A and B are shown apart, each in its own frame.
Chain A
């Protein structure tokens, strides 16, 4: 049972290689190995001119005259390639998680986030995905992308802008209204004044810079009520000059270590890996592990992924559209074009991006900083059901641009005598749990009885649709 969980919830979808590896290492050994492998880097992901390893100045030159959505499309294309191919599946899952936790919107023409988003993905999210949360949070606070998106670089001591201050408390650390009030938001905004950007996109690129002249050099206090009712106050006399930056560093380290933050992160992680209604006892024990390990992420994941709640799999979890695409591509053994161009959408770039958009998972273009919700009613609507089926049909028929499935290779060899046995074998290969009713439905679709000889069913001419229907099966919508 635990091995199945490893296949379906730690990875994005089982491949023959993963099945073999779990068999040889055992579930615990497989998990330990996954906890060690960092996320994929920028090499061998996209071919052609791309900006994954560029700096903001280079990226600006590449993209300034291009479709403003293309940088986000580049990231989506690269994210799918990496999640399909990278051995560190858990690391890629955590990249998906933190990308959403520190969600930025790159679609606004005048905010320039699009020129910095790929740097954020590389230097913040991927660099710290399995590291320490306090380091990740600090890196995010200094991220050019986040600075641009939530306006902190504009905030000054005399006129603080609360946008980032509010979200670092509400979304990135403690959770909405969780032990602080409006006055605290204002104080956090003041403490983080001076955290800004230097450089010019069109000259040397943008980089984080602490600017003492814009820092509020006066006393500030942030008071948090912990979940147990105790009160903890962060205070600073308000340093001036270069030392003023330390006010913010201390604050960020303090925020990362609040029990409120531990609860908020634990609930989100348990919801991600275990189920939509995370069991309270597991959330509480996970929060303890987080605090006991000084915000290190690996022990937290190990705790969740070895918990009885995870292993017994009592809580069904619907695949996000990103997970669904990646799972379908992995189980069908699809080939995905890695060709990318800055000046025009290559087929896989367009198809991956378009389908994520239609399915409601337009990563790097979610307009608000809260990220996508993580529950099945958010993802499953009548409209997105149609799109989930369409995706299945296109993958089965190799009509998803830039994606090729060798459908004949999925057929059993030797071929069984009757159509029902072929359908069962295909379903097993695709790791779908079909019933007799399902097999009958597919035979009916082919216009034959379930015990019809394979030759009568014209399987070869309808194979793409049959794979598409199987990939539309409800069991494939769940992890």
Chain B
């Protein structure tokens, strides 16, 4: 292990100790920013009880499918942290350390991710640069499936978020407890409450002539034709869809708040649309507790990784940072009760390949942001010296489930950790303590 510990930020005590309440810092910062959120009048009428009754945060799980390179998200600033070794390993892909945005004395953020810096400065962004799947598999599909299911091996057939919802008491009345957007995301699979919406705008039944009263007659007929007595998955999904239609169609729509601007072009366009709709549902207070989505920006850069400005990785990272920044701005003080977690199945190889790209690796950067997050860099930095490299890749020092465990316990008041993360042996040493307790 290298002597450089990632776990340090200028004002944070080491994780695990009693430390300054980052939440207080956030609130102060928010006040300075003079961000005023005008709560629309209807919010207090239709769904007032949802926000007041919810025990934990709203969790937004964003899976970065394709294997995002982490060594270009959080990179060493100087030789002592491994900058020279990275430059040798990636002769055409490396970012000049002087271009990185310093996060602490040893590490910096990709220059195209500057949009995240206000969140970092507010102390509500945790970055875990050597996190990942604990076992050595490098198959996109095998690792994604296991991470969606909250496992390190085997399969259980349901997602970790679905099991969290199933095992956690939810005070009524609830509307739409959970959503998966834009497609079924596997961390929600098996959920009895999650609704899949491609988009809130298109969540309606088109195609029929008789659309009087928002197609009430068509919906009534569909309800009967897909009666619960059918007992198969089609009938089940049909009934869920019809109920969700009622909730979504009665929730008022509103544009992004606080001047937030989501990317409308490039690789961030689709994810930007989805996150703006998630923010809209959160602002509409329809009862959301969990959302699962994914960002398939094209991370699988076996070739043409590109330079640090116009290259594909750089453009993808910029889009990701812009979307997250817009989401946080859009939600304003609502972010106090939202936790966003981002993970990917693996990082990329340490050394670049023959196609100016990088193949499947091991550790990558996880992101956690929200009002209840203690900002900073977390986890042991494994080092880039030959003896520390794991099969041409950054070694995983933080099991992704340790990050989820912090969130589940401290931000989501989960009802049964063992059911959500089966097989994960939860010990204090593994925990990063990157989230503040609720309250």
Contact = CB atoms under 8 A, between A and B. Distances in A.
Interface stretch (A20-28, A115-123, A264-272, A460-468): A460-468
B246 interface: no
A163 B234 contact: no
Contact of B225 (A376, A390, A462, A469): A469
A474 B226 contact: yes
B141 interface: yes
A356 to B, nearest CB: 13
A182 interface: yes
B203 A383 contact: yes
| Majority SS at the chain B contact face | loop
Nearest to B231: A474
Interface stretch (A55-63, A85-93, A148-156, A339-347): A148-156
Contact of A474 (B138, B184, B235, B391): B235
A392 B207 contact: yes
Contacts of B237: 380-382, 385
Interface stretch (A30-38, A240-248, A438-446): A438-446
Contacts of B245: 386
Interface string B348-390: 0000011101011000000000000000000000000000000
Interface in B299-331: 300, 302-304
Interface string B198-242: 100011111111100000011011101111001011110110110
B353 A160 contact: yes
A370 to B, nearest CB: 5
Interface in A134-167: 150-151, 154-156, 158-163, 166
B195 interface: yes
B409 interface: no
Nearest to B227: A437
A296 to B, nearest CB: 28
Nearest to A470: B225
A399 B211 CA distance: 14
B207 A441 contact: no
B244 A382 contact: yes
B207 A397 contact: yes
A154 B354 contact: yes
Contact of B210 (A176, A377, A465): A465
A374 interface: no
Contact of B354 (A155, A318, A385, A469): A155
Interface residues of B, number: 61
Given A151-B302, A384-B196, A474-B238, 13 more contacts: A162-B359, A162-B360, A163-B300, A163-B302, A368-B141, A382-B196, A386-B241, A390-B205, A397-B207, A397-B208, A465-B210, A474-B235, A477-B234
25 contacts: A110-B304, A155-B353, A156-B354, A162-B302, A163-B300, A176-B141, A318-B234, A367-B66, A368-B66, A381-B196, A382-B240, A385-B237, A386-B241, A387-B198, A389-B205, A393-B206, A397-B208, A438-B225, A445-B210, A462-B210, A464-B209, A465-B210, A468-B208, A474-B225, A474-B232
Interface of B: 65-66, 136-142, 180, 182-184, 189-190, 195-198, 202-210, 217-218, 220-222, 224-227, 230, 232-235, 237-238, 240-241, 244-245, 296, 298, 300, 302-304, 353-355, 357, 359-360, 391
Interface of A: 108, 110, 150-151, 154-156, 158-163, 166, 170-171, 176-177, 182, 185, 316, 318, 358, 360, 367-368, 370, 376-378, 380-387, 389-394, 397, 399, 437-438, 440-442, 444-445, 462, 464-465, 468-469, 472-474, 477-478
